Chains A and B, each alone.
Chain A
């Protein structure tokens, strides 16, 4: 069949610089908004916002919501919703808190700080989250109860299962090895962070190179070499710059002194040490990479997006969309449990209100990050950037001294405005 109305392809030289870089305009817009936000807060707070200390804190505060937001992308892409993530996080956190403080010491005789304690705790927590997620997914996929209802029920059920498990008490202290997942208590230090930064840069450059080679092998059009070069520079600059900033945040002297005391040593005069990359941030980066690979390069991801774009077509193509729904919610549950590890380790205890309102933050992060509630569109990096923007907004306003009610009013307004801008943008470029 021919299409007589098809327009000739525009010649290469007419494309502008941004098009040659093949950058996602939407992503650029988000990064732009984020940069303006940061610079704005930095000016108002007399430079306190963009200090290594604040960037470090901002990063570790974002991790928990960002991990869940990456899972929420899959849920929303397939036209579902998960309102239970905050409550599920609480249940996982409660299960893990009880596992390490009650079950392991009293039943297996493994004390707190036993080398196996944290491993077993994390395994139990992740299994709990995955199972609950899969169960909710089964109700959505096989019993065809709308996800909104299943997870609204789950929101009440899991929040109160957590309460019941712990009698509403705050459970602590937690295992000391477990706490390294929280952020401040578990960082890589300066040299290891640099090594990782360099390795990550090399891997990123290899990925760019490989994708170009694959395109050339099939004789598809590729970007000009200068554009590849600029991309490579931006990517390596971003990775190494991030490492440099986190390394620049130095561990407070008193804390360092305590660390030396604990080892029975005396701290040398004038000794300083940077925090480096927090382990929780590494977990988030790992999640982001794995989820992006799943989304873009696996059949599972392809089916998730196909189902979101046209559920009937996916079904007619032989995709088992029911089982797919179970898998998506299981992934979501797993990530809630992972967030529970990070969140409870950051607080150094399990409190009854852990994860409260997280479901709204997670959904908002995914949506601000460009995930369309109508299904079929969304990116992992967008959702994580969305989480970062929300967290920056919140802590920036707190630094400036905006009253708590106004903080939430602003965040709510930004959410609606961001989606409106997205709708206008999508209409302009003609995408759905």
Chain B
């Protein structure tokens, strides 16, 4: 299989293209004419300060926000994503920073929320869902035991693994991770890093939103940096240093450019 780098060099059609996306809230341009793309098996980091617009940009792709202008192409075809169901139908899955779990429901109910397994009579099949949940958690987090308790009773790491299970269970092709390690300890962060490598090897494209420049340097193939709603630039990770990225985030200039 061609690596993402080779694919780009061949000029292959990206899996996701977000072209000239703009969205504003009450007159403030949260995202201003930003374009990013993603190839299969590639991890693209989205960097920037709080309020730089990276979460907003990505919520356009996951269907949580509607863009004001711009277009989204999946495998070269223009698509309309107006709600989370549309995004899911294009195999776009999202792990939100807030995890987006219903605290009062158990792990299986959260895993299948909106996509329940039903019996022939149309009733939800809790036993089947719990069995599937046990299978995937056995892979992701073998120590997970609390299948019959509401997720409010789980630790931060366990909750995170439920959110991750939900994203990877339904054959995601495009995965959006919004600060997946923000609430985790070092050991669990390492597990997430390994998971990202695994998913990458399966040809899944990942948008990774992160504050941590080191994590991005370690995990990503490319990084797109945003500042004040605008794209500062997209760089190949192997061409830049930590400091280059930092100066892009802080000063809003690409390496080699003079400070604006």
**Interface residues of A toward B: which range?**
35 or more
Partner of B113, one of A3, A302, A431: A302
Collect the chain A residues with CB atoms within 8 Å of residue B118's CB.
299
How many angstroms from the CA of A376 to the CA of B84 in the assembled complex? Answer: 22
Assess whether B145 is in contact with A9, with CB atoms less than 8 Å apart: yes
Q: Contacts A299-B118, A305-B105 hold; do A318 and B98 have CB atoms under 8 A apart?
A: no
Known contacts A312-B98, A313-B102: does B145 contact A2 (CB below 8 Å)?
no
**Contact A317–B160 (Cβ < 8 Å):** no
CB distance from B81 to the nearest CB of A (A): 12
* Interface residues contributed by chain B, number (CB under 8 Å): 54
A370 adjacent to chain B (CB < 8 Å): no
Give Cα distance in the complex from A9 to B118, angstroms: 30
Q: Which chain A positions have C-beta within 8 A of B94? A: 316
Given contacts A214-B127, A376-B103, contact A314 B192 (CB under 8 A): no
Q: For the complex, is B15 an interface residue (Cβ under 8 Å from A)?
A: no
Interface residue ranges of A394-432 to B (CB < 8 Å): 430-432
Complex Cα gap A9–B141 (Å): 16
Chain A residues, CB < 8 A from B203: none
Task: Produce 1/0 per residue, A5-19, CB < 8 A to B.
Answer: 110010000000000
**Does A293 have its Cβ within 8 Å of any Cβ on chain B?**
yes
Cβ of B114 within 8 Å of any chain A Cβ, yes or no, is yes
- B217 on the interface (CB 8 Å rule)? no
Complex: A5 Cα to B113 Cα, angstroms = 27
Q: When the two chains form the complex, which single residue of A3, A293, A310 contacts B141, counting CB atoms closer than 8 Å?
A: A3
A432 contacts B104, CB within 8 Å?
yes
**A6-B143, A316-B94, A316-B100 as given contacts; A298 in contact with B187, CB under 8 Å:** no
Please measure, in the bound complex, the distance between the C-alpha atom of A299 and the C-alpha atom of B125, giving whole angstroms.
10
Residues on the A chain within 8 Å of B152, using CB? 431-432
The answer to whether the Cβ of B122 comes within 8 Å of any Cβ in the partner chain is: yes
Task: Point out the residues of chain B lying under 8 angstroms from A430, CB to CB.
Answer: 153
Interface string of B64-108 (1 = CB under 8 A from A): 100000000000000000011100100000101011111111000
Check if B127 sits within 8 Å of A215, measured CB to CB: yes
Complex contact B145–A432 (CB within 8 A): no
Segment 139-161 of B: residues with Cβ below 8 Å from A: 140-146, 150, 152-153, 155, 157-158, 160-161
- Asked if B140 and A1 sit within 8 Å, CB to CB, the answer is yes
Interface residues of A in 347-388 (CB under 8 A from B): 376-377
Q: Are A6 and B104 in contact (CB under 8 A)?
A: no
Residues of B within 8 A of A220 (CB): 127, 130
A-B pairs with CB below 8 Å: how many?
A: 123
Option from B64, B105, B155 in Cβ contact (under 8 Å) with A6: B155
Is B130 touching A2 in the complex (CB atoms < 8 A)?
no
Is A319 a contact of B113 with CB atoms below 8 Å? yes
Q: In the bound complex, what is the Cα–Cα distance between A6 and B128 (angstroms)?
A: 25
A315–B144 CB distance below 8 A: no
Whether A1 and B161, one on each chain, are in contact in the complex, defined by CB atoms closer than 8 angstroms, is yes
For residue A215, which residue of chain B has the nearest CB?
Answer: B127
- Which residues of chain A have C-beta atoms less than 8 A from B99's C-beta? 313
B145 & A1 in contact (Cβ 8 Å cutoff): no
A217 within 8 A of B: yes
> Is B188 engaged at the interface, CB distance under 8 Å to the other chain?
yes
The reply to whether the CB of B191 lies closer than 8 angstroms to some CB of chain A is: yes
The contact string, 1 if C-beta is below 8 Å from chain A, for chain B 177-205, is: 00000001001100110010000000000
Q: Tell me the chain A residues, 212-265 only, with Cβ under 8 Å from chain B.
A: 214-215, 217-218, 220
A218 & B164 in contact (Cβ 8 Å cutoff): no
Contact across chains for A316 and B192 when beta carbons are under 8 A apart? no
Report if B240 contacts A (CB, 8 A): no
* B109: chain A residues within 8 A (beta carbon): 302, 306
**Provided the pairs A2-B143, A215-B127, A220-B130 are in contact, do residues A305 and B84 lie with their beta carbons within 8 angstroms?**
no
Query: Is there an interface contact between A319 and B192, defined as CB atoms closer than 8 Å?
Result: no
Tell me the complex Cα distance, A313–B97, Å.
11
Name the residue on B nearest A219 (C-beta): B131
Would A305 and B102 count as touching, CB distance under 8 A? yes
Q: Are B102 and A306 in contact (CB under 8 A)?
A: yes
B124 at the A interface (CB under 8 A): yes
User: What residue in chain B is nearest A214 (Cβ atoms)?
Assistant: B127
- Inter-chain contact A309/B102, CB cutoff 8 Å: yes
Q: B98 contacts A6, CB within 8 Å? A: no
The smallest C-beta distance from A211 to any residue of chain B, in angstroms, reads: 9
Contact B158 A3 (CB under 8 A): yes
B123 at interface by CB-CB < 8 Å: yes
B-contact bits for A314-335, CB 8 A (1 contact / 0 none): 1111110000000000000000
Does B221 touch A at the CB level, under 8 Å? Answer: no
The smallest C-beta distance from B167 to any residue of chain A, in angstroms, reads 12
Q: Does B33 contact A (CB under 8 A)?
A: no
Shortest CB distance A322–B (Å): 11
Residue among A5, A308, A310 making CB contact with B100, cutoff 8 Å: A310
Instruction: Pick from A215, A218, A317 the residue with the most CB of B within 10 Å.
Output: A317
Query: In whole angstroms, how far apart are the Cα atoms of A343 and B15 in the complex?
Result: 62
A318 and B157 within 8 A (CB): no
Measured in the bound complex, the distance between the Cα atoms of B122 and A298 in whole Å is 7
Q: A5–B195 contact, CB under 8 A?
A: no
Query: Which of the residues A1, A5, A215, A313 comes within 8 Å of B192, measured between beta carbons?
Result: A1
Q: How many whole Å from A311's CB to the nearest CB in chain B?
A: 9
CB of A3, distance to nearest CB on chain B (Å): 5
Q: List 29 A-B contacts (CB under 8 A).
A: A1-B160, A1-B164, A2-B142, A2-B157, A2-B187, A215-B127, A217-B127, A218-B128, A218-B130, A293-B123, A297-B126, A298-B122, A298-B123, A299-B116, A302-B113, A302-B116, A305-B102, A305-B104, A306-B105, A306-B109, A310-B101, A313-B100, A313-B101, A318-B63, A318-B85, A318-B115, A377-B104, A430-B153, A432-B152
Q: Which residues of A contact B (CB under 8 A)?
A: 1-6, 9, 214-215, 217-218, 220, 293, 297-299, 302-303, 305-310, 312-319, 376-377, 430-432
Smallest CB-CB A-B distances: 9 pairs = A309-B104, A309-B102, A376-B104, A317-B114, A318-B85, A313-B100, A1-B191, A306-B102, A297-B123
Apart from the given pairs A1-B191, A214-B127, 5 other A-B contacts in the complex at a CB distance below 8 Å: A9-B145, A298-B123, A302-B109, A305-B102, A318-B115
